[in-house]
Chains A and B, each alone.
Chain A
Amino acid sequence: MPGKLKAKILAGRHLPVMDRASDLTDAFVEVKFGNTTFKTDVFPKSLNPQWNSEWFKFEVDDEDLQDEPLQITVLDHDTYSANDAIGKVYIDIDPLLSTEAATVISGWFPIYDTIHGIRGEISVLVKVELFSDSNRFRQSSCGVKFFSVFCNTRDALHLSCPAPSIPRCYRLAAVHGFVEELVVNEDPEHQWIDRIRTPRASNEARQRLISLMSGELQRKIGLKVLEMGGNAVVGYLQCFDLEGESGLVVRAIGTACTLEKPGSLPPSAPSASPSMETKEPSYPVTVPSPGPSAPLKYQPFSSSSPKSCRHQSSCSDTDLSFVPKIGIGSSGSSGKEGCSFKMPQKQVTPSALEQREFPFFTFTRFPPGFLLHVGGVVSARSVKLLDRIYNPDEPETRDAWWEEIRQEIKSHAKALGCHAVVGYSESTSICDEVCILSAAGTAAVLDPTLMQEGCLDDGGEHSCVFCHVPYDDFNSPFPAHLAQCCTCGRHKVPDVLFTTIELPREAKVSGKGCLIQARLCRLKKKAQGEASATAVSNLLPFMEYELHTQLMNKLKLRAMNALFGLRVQISLGENMVVGLASATGVYLNALPSPGGVQIAGKTPGDTAQEQHISNMQRKINDTIAGNKELYEINPLEVAEDVSGSPIPEPQRRPRLFRSVSESSTEVPELDLAYGRKDAFVLEIDDTDALEDMHSLLTDAPAPSGFYSCNTEVMPGIYSWTSAVQMFTSVRMFRLGNANLTNQGVNKAFNDLCEDLLKSLYFKVRSMVPCCLCHLNFSVAVPEEELVQVTVTAAAMTFDKDAALTTTLPAAQIGMFVYFLSLKVFTWFQPLSPALSVFPASSVDYGSFADRCSTLVELIKVKAQTMRRGSIKTSRGVFRHTRSNAVTVVKMTPLSFIPNTRIIKYLGIINMFFIRETSSLREEGGVSGFLHGFITEVFAMVRAHVAALGGNAVLSYQMKECVFMENPNKNQAQCLINVSGDAFLVYVRFECTHTHWPVRVSTGAVKYHCQDHCAQRVSRLH
């Protein structure tokens, strides 16, 4: 009996009226886990029941703990008829299974019903007691931590705080490699029983199934991680494919890692405790088992260790993997913590990497020096015909499909002279029985020699290294246009660089970056099965090519030479295919300055056309010059001999490796070569090209004061305030059915994206100067002639005046005044007697108080480490948290919040909701319905995070937003899947007199901060 789950139901509030006669409700609660159900007493005639139940105890296997959610159902007791369900709460127990994440789940949860939405709230307390387990053949993987996106707090904190000595939440000790898994099942919505059950029952069955499947998936991935000797999955990316009749697939990829607490750094000298190295790994309860893969390690030990040497021979004994014990050796390093942080050494040669099945890394940020060379983007797509999944236990077909694609990616990377793929991701697009599988990443060389000690202060010396091509110019795998590196002048660099990763920290850029999007909509004949698949696969290469050309043109027009965070999405609809490529353009100092764009007519001699062309040319030149100014691009003048002598190459071609295969038949690669010219040449030969040209020039720049990017942060902006406003915006447009042309739909789609961006800027105008970060567009074609665009991003305010100062002198760091976060993060209402109408239970307070006291201790520790620091913990904080106030939870798609410190990781949030209505008009039409639903989803995520003891969701993503409507029947349905990492953080107030007023910002929106600032400043004077 490896675990005991305990749950207590305290109270409810704001319940709906279930009895019309009395305007009240007789509520009781069912608590279910697995097959066991408990019930509370009925609390008669109240909308704010106080159950204060006993502890309901479930004795369960930890396997079930990982898979199953705790299911809480609130019902209205009815003496004469069946009890009416008010709604449900599903609680994922997983965060309680890790020793380091949350210890208790306690708080108010919205009661959710798939038909009515949120109907009141319920206060719940959940605990887990785990018994130690030594069974090496166990099926569970408790304790493995999952991070949606690699929370490289080192990088993150660099951006928000220049002090290198801030302790980080976790430190990356070893990277073990790529993990993947998928599980399949029948979709309850498409089972025969669905015809006879209510929509509510069907939705709940679906929600529960997906919850179970993702729990199972996470557990299986966790097992793989333990096998590899890791303790965490970083860059965990879970998706599900609604294959309709063929079933439901939940799949995930991630990178297995070993993380350690920075406080538990092992001693840096091997002589300090030689015995330690022979110890069995003990954290977490790792089961040593032979595995096929050798971990790629950054071991903070010198290479003299005999065990480490064996790694170099790429022997596959994973039991050698050394996972440092928590707490051991902390004395040796705590004194120098931060400043003595050592770049771990890597003990594995690239060859070991190559021996891995898939040397893929799902995260996009890396420790400095980790990336040696970046080859370019590699992508692969494959069109498949879906077939019913006959046996859910044998998901082999899907596995084989992905395997095939990954092999392809791997071979592309190899062709680029790279042994690894970083920033790797996978996606699908399904329409009826046709499915496009896509995978993309950035081919890279990860060189261990740079990971040596002393390379931490890389300075400018290595800032260009990652740009150097990984192949030599004469044996290059394809015709390439190479130049001498503009920074060091010693190595070759490409003329443009496309990648799927974040801009490396060490990279030197000129000016600011900007969002660059290529948008494309192509009509396709309606067809069934095989014919449809063929049509799609014929279309794909052209689309990729066009998207790429658009990206290239737009990049040149902005006078930039590199793209980061490139994401190409191809969405399939019944009669059209939509392509959207987003990336953040920058000017990399190491790469040659981009030449201008030249237009050439096809028919020389035609004076009218020549006139037109010269007009166009002038416009283009003006645009380029304007953009240089707008993005502040003025690279340092480089020596003539470096920049002026591109390697003569007969041809140039884009650095995008692609292939499209249809049912495993390779389509011959297109010849994408242009004629060799110094400047980038656009040929105008028909109206199409004119149209393209036009749209190119009409891409409106962001309004003044605004920037945007799809990477985590904007290159060139460093002084972020903590004001973050995360938002989701959804737009759907219907194309008129009057003679649809490629050009028409293309323009419509382009306008939609542009208008959407304009709307977003307008919405957050109060935050100027502001940057929309991590702008994540996703496109879907839910129905014929319908295109849906979903955007999630974080608007972040920065300090304009400080934009140029990237680092503060270290001496100022001691001047920071620390305030306890809970004050900042709890918007408390002035205590009024009315609040006592809903008294919260005392247990809730208690757990909150516990959390607070740990916080205080943390702050105290912090105080001791800061010699010159002045600490203020306001007493008032605790009084307010004891009030019934709602914890403010910040959400951001980024892996950090500027000017905050991460105190604790609390677990991954992965939630799936369905909402359905049969009174669409009454709920305000499709917009009203979806607006309400998204608001509810946000509320439920915040409530779960708050119940875990957190106040922030980092790496937040809305991974799925599937909307279906039937206006004739007045019905609509929507599925939303969100994920993120729950954290407890606190806002740091920086008290440097220049930044003071802006940095005091505490709220998510600027007007809030301004008020705060005004108060504080006035008190100061």
Chain B
Amino acid sequence: MEIMSVELDVFVGNTTIMDEEVYQFWLDGYTVSDAVKVRMEGGVLEECEASAEVLQSDTMDQYRTFQMCERLLHTPAKLANQLLFQIPPHRQAMLIERYYAFDSAFVREVLGKKLSKGTKKDLDDVSLKTGITLKSCRRQFDNFKRVFKVVEELKGPLVENIQTHFLLSDKLARDYAAIVFFANNRFETGKRKLQYLSFQDFAFCAGQLISNWTVGAVDNMVEDMDVDLDKEFLQDLKDLKILITDKDLLDQHKSLVCTALRGKTKVYSEMEANFKNLSRGLINIAAKLTNTKDVRDLFIDLVEKFIEPCRSDRWTAADMKLFLIHYTNSAHILDTFKHQVTWDRYMGVIKSCILKMYHD
């Protein structure tokens, strides 16, 4: 029998000592013993002439500290004026930024899903699928939910609200804005056909939608301004239908685009042959956006109705760019087409989203 067993082992510094490496293990949901194993392999032992027991003790201690801090990290503004831990500001910023950081593999699984208890229950599947520990999945999910709840009822720009309440960096705040936006509008992102898209692709699209299609794009002092799409605008989109229903307009549009592209692209003939289908695809998407269900399907529709046909015709990204520019601009020359403002607002976003999404 062991002659002695350590019952209690505590270390408290006046300035709270936190090891970034251990913090990451904790965030990643490693158990203490797993973290110790990884640290030992990392060679910290030889560096400091320490033993495995020392690492074990240090890791336990740090885990306890992080657990005590976690409550404060839920409201990061508190971290700055709490008295319990003395932590230099740049360390505070690090703690917050890392706590709110998320795995792109994880976020792809829940992006656009309702941040509800039901989704939370399914996290073990997500954990299995992504290889991210359940503990870490829960933290990330709770972060999404917490940010969502706080900014839901606030006025003013979404990104700024997130930044002031959670003291996140600009980049991370923008990502959270995308997550909140997707969760609120429940965009479908999980279909097989959308699997090739990364979180950053969606985040970019969310940014475009937020700054152009929401209420906030026209009025910046209403509630939910950056979260809800502008209903009036969606209604106006129905007017674009004339571009495909009026046969003259459609032919005129086609010939304008073809004239502009002739000789400039290798897929000219495919484009010419497919023009009407592609145009119908894009404009039908626009016309249907008044239905919440169709809003959710925005991205799957873009892929199915536009991106996939182009891809099967082997358009390059440059071809795509050229086409979309001329497709958008040619509509301005059509003299019977009166909805230029709505058209630009719609196509501006669609163009940049498609360009972002057009890759393998």
Q: Does A704 contact B (CB under 8 A)?
A: yes
Compute how far the CA of A935 lies from the CA of B18 in the bound complex, rounded to whole angstroms. 14
Q: Does B3 contact A (CB under 8 A)?
A: yes
B12 touches A931 (CB 8 A): yes
B7 touches A926 (CB 8 A): yes
Q: Does A891 contact B (CB under 8 A)?
A: yes
A888 touches B86 (CB 8 A): yes
Q: Does A40 contact B (CB under 8 A)?
A: no
Q: Does A674 contact B (CB under 8 A)?
A: no
Give the interface SS of chain A, mostly helix, strand, loop or mixed: mixed
**Do A734 and B7 form a contact, CB below 8 Å, given A703-B48, A725-B13, A762-B50?**
yes
**Do A942 and B86 form a contact, CB below 8 Å, given A736-B3, A755-B54, A786-B7?**
yes
How many B residues touch A, CB cutoff 8 Å?
51
Which one of A14, A118, A725, A827 contacts B14 once the chains associate, using CB atoms below 8 Å? A725
**Do A748 and B54 form a contact, CB below 8 Å, given A110-B84, A924-B64?**
no
**Do A939 and B83 form a contact, CB below 8 Å, given A727-B14, A927-B8?**
yes
**Do A758 and B50 form a contact, CB below 8 Å, given A833-B164, A885-B81, A935-B84?**
yes
Which residues does chain A contribute within 8 Å of B7, judged by CB atoms? 732-734, 786, 926
Compute how far the CA of A828 lies from the CA of B84 in the bound complex, rounded to whole angstroms. 16
**Do A762 and B48 form a contact, CB below 8 Å, given A727-B12, A838-B81?**
yes
Identify the stretch in B87-95, B116-124, B260-268, B349-357 within 8 Å (CB) of chain A at 4 or more residues: B87-95
A759 touches B12 (CB 8 A): no
Which one of A732, A835, A1004 contacts B15 once the chains associate, using CB atoms below 8 Å? A1004
A733 touches B83 (CB 8 A): no
**0/1 per residue, A779-792, Cβ < 8 Å to B?**
00000001010000
**0/1 per residue, B26-63, Cβ < 8 Å to A?**
00000000000000000000011111011101101100
Q: Does B85 contact A (CB under 8 A)?
A: yes
**Do A763 and B17 form a contact, CB below 8 Å, given A832-B167, A935-B12?**
yes
Compute how far the CA of A733 lies from the CA of B4 in the bound complex, rounded to whole angstroms. 6
Interface residues of A in 355-374 (CB under 8 A from B): none
B80 touches A829 (CB 8 A): yes
A963 touches B48 (CB 8 A): no
Compute how far the CA of A450 lies from the CA of B1 in the bound complex, rounded to whole angstroms. 62
Which residues does chain B contribute within 8 Å of A760, judged by CB atoms? 11
Compute how far the CA of A744 lies from the CA of B167 in the bound complex, rounded to whole angstroms. 54
Q: Say which size band chain A's interface belongs to.
A: 35 or more
CB distance from B261 to the nearest CB of A (A): 50
CB distance from A5 to the nearest CB of B (A): 24
Q: Please report the number of residue pairs spanning A and B whose Cβ atoms sit closer than 8 angstroms.
A: 186
CB distance from B61 to the nearest CB of A (A): 7
Which one of A727, A747, A1011 contacts B11 once the chains associate, using CB atoms below 8 Å? A727
Q: Does B318 contact A (CB under 8 A)?
A: no
A704 touches B49 (CB 8 A): yes
A735 touches B80 (CB 8 A): no
A927 touches B58 (CB 8 A): no
CB distance from A761 to the nearest CB of B (A): 7
A927 touches B14 (CB 8 A): no
Which one of A764, A886, A931 contacts B68 once the chains associate, using CB atoms below 8 Å? A931
Q: Does B65 contact A (CB under 8 A)?
A: yes
B51 touches A926 (CB 8 A): no
Compute how far the CA of A644 lies from the CA of B137 in the bound complex, rounded to whole angstroms. 74
Which residues does chain A contribute within 8 Å of B87, judged by CB atoms? 827
A751 touches B4 (CB 8 A): yes
B14 touches A752 (CB 8 A): no
Interface residues of B in 67-101 (CB under 8 A from A): 67-68, 77-78, 80-92
B5 touches A736 (CB 8 A): yes
B81 touches A938 (CB 8 A): no
Q: Does B341 contact A (CB under 8 A)?
A: no
Q: Which of A832, A889, A1011 has the most CB of B within 10 A?
A: A832
Which residues does chain A contribute within 8 Å of B83, judged by CB atoms? 108, 110, 118, 121, 886, 939, 942-943
Compute how far the CA of A755 lies from the CA of B87 in the bound complex, rounded to whole angstroms. 27
Compute how far the CA of A832 lies from the CA of B168 in the bound complex, rounded to whole angstroms. 11
Which residues does chain B contribute within 8 Å of A762, judged by CB atoms? 48, 50, 54-55, 58
B17 touches A725 (CB 8 A): yes
Q: Does A995 contact B (CB under 8 A)?
A: no
Q: Does A884 contact B (CB under 8 A)?
A: yes
Which residues does chain A contribute within 8 Å of B89, judged by CB atoms? 827-830
- Chain B residue nearest in CB terms to A953: B14
- Chain A residue nearest in CB terms to B15: A1004
CB distance from A452 to the nearest CB of B (A): 43
Compute how far the CA of A747 lies from the CA of B4 in the bound complex, rounded to whole angstroms. 10
Which residues does chain A contribute within 8 Å of B90, judged by CB atoms? 1008, 1011
Q: Does B165 contact A (CB under 8 A)?
A: yes
Cβ contacts A to B, 30 pairs, < 8 Å = A110-B83, A110-B84, A727-B11, A729-B11, A730-B8, A730-B10, A732-B7, A734-B7, A738-B1, A748-B4, A752-B4, A762-B48, A762-B55, A827-B88, A832-B164, A886-B82, A891-B14, A926-B8, A927-B8, A927-B9, A931-B10, A931-B12, A931-B68, A932-B68, A935-B85, A939-B86, A942-B83, A943-B83, A1003-B88, A1005-B88
Report B's interface with A, CB cutoff 8 A. 1-15, 17, 47-51, 53-55, 57-58, 60-61, 64-65, 67-68, 77-78, 80-92, 163-165, 167
